[in-house]
């Protein structure tokens, strides 16, 4: 694994300049999901059994939903404004990718609301505040490498950040922080070198383009952060 260009002495200097120029990337205050009125759609058989953005398998009969930005795991009460029916769903996927739609419901949730035949419905979304755990928000980072060994990830982190210390720094949340995120996949630990955090995907895409120009292969990824 891995994904960065070698033999490019200008990489570190270029990245340091990018960090200074782009420090506003994480300057916006995190926002919790707010009550919203919009259009709901639904998705079902064609996606049944596929992996969702949360990593779990999509089950069209469970009460789940996709939202573009709200934290994965957020429970939301969805109310059909015309019929008054409501259902509580859990955000476990990303979408919908149609501009005029706010949420994509599972088939089970859409059936509960009685909107399967119509396909879409005007709804109110009320995030449920009293669920277990601290409030969370979605932020975006740019991944520049993924490794099976921590020393290789630490070496890239030091190169990218221009830092002399040995080993991966703790996960902090400052502007243009270069950090190592750990994840378990198929009984192995992956060490992912990331730069961020950005308030929205557009800012992260801009950063990714700049990192590509500096010689790094980059990928925009989501990070779920706790709000303090």
Q: At what angle do helices 10-21 and 201-213 cross, to 10 degrees?
A: 150
| C-alpha–C-alpha distance, residues 41 and 43, integer Å | 7
Give the containing element (helix H, strand E) for 171: none
Place of tokens 């994840």: 183
Contact 42, 115 (CB under 8 A): yes
Neighbours of 225 (CB within 10 A): 19
DSSP-assigned beta bridge partners for residue 185: 188
Which of the four CATH numbers 2.40.30.10, 2.40.40.10, 3.40.50.720, 3.40.50.970 does domain 36-127 have?
Answer: 2.40.40.10
What architecture is the 10-29+135-226 domain classified under in CATH?
2-Layer Sandwich (3.30)
Instruction: Report the pLDDT averaged over residues 189-211.
Output: 85
Enclosing H/E stretch for 199: none
Instruction: Give the pLDDT of residue 226.
Output: 65
The per-residue pLDDT for range 62-109, each reduced to its tens digit, is 999 999 888 888 899 999 999 999 999 999 899 998 889 999 999 999
> Cα(116)–Cα(122) distance, rounded to whole angstroms?
13
């Amino acid at each position: 694994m891995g994904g960065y260009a070698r033999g490019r002495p200008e990489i570190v200097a270029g990245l340091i300049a990018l960090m200074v120029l782009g420090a506003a990337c994480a300057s916006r205050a995190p926002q919790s999901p707010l009550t919203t009125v919009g259009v709901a759609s639904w998705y079902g058989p064609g996606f049944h059994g596929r992996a969702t953005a949360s990593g779990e398998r999509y089950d069209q009969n469970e009460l789940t939903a996709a939202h573009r930005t709200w934290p994965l795991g957020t429970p939301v009460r969805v109310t059909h404004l015309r019929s008054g029916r409501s259902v509580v769903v859990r955000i476990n996927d990303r979408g919908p990718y149609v501009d005029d739609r706010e949420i994509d419901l599972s088939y089970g949730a859409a059936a509960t609301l009685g909107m399967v035949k119509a396909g879409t419905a005007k709804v109110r979304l009320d995030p449920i505040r009293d669920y277990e755990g601290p409030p969370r928000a979605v932020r975006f980072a740019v991944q520049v490498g993924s490794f099976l060994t921590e020393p290789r990830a630490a070496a890239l982190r030091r190169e990218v950040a221009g830092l002399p210390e040995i080993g991966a720094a703790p996960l902090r949340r400052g502007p243009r922080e270069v950090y190592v995120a750990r994840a378990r996949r198929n009984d192995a630990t992956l060490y992912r070198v990331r730069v961020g955090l950005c308030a929205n995907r557009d800012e992260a895409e801009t950063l990714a383009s700049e990192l590509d120009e500096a010689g790094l292969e980059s990928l925009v990824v989501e990070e779920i952060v706790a709000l303090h």
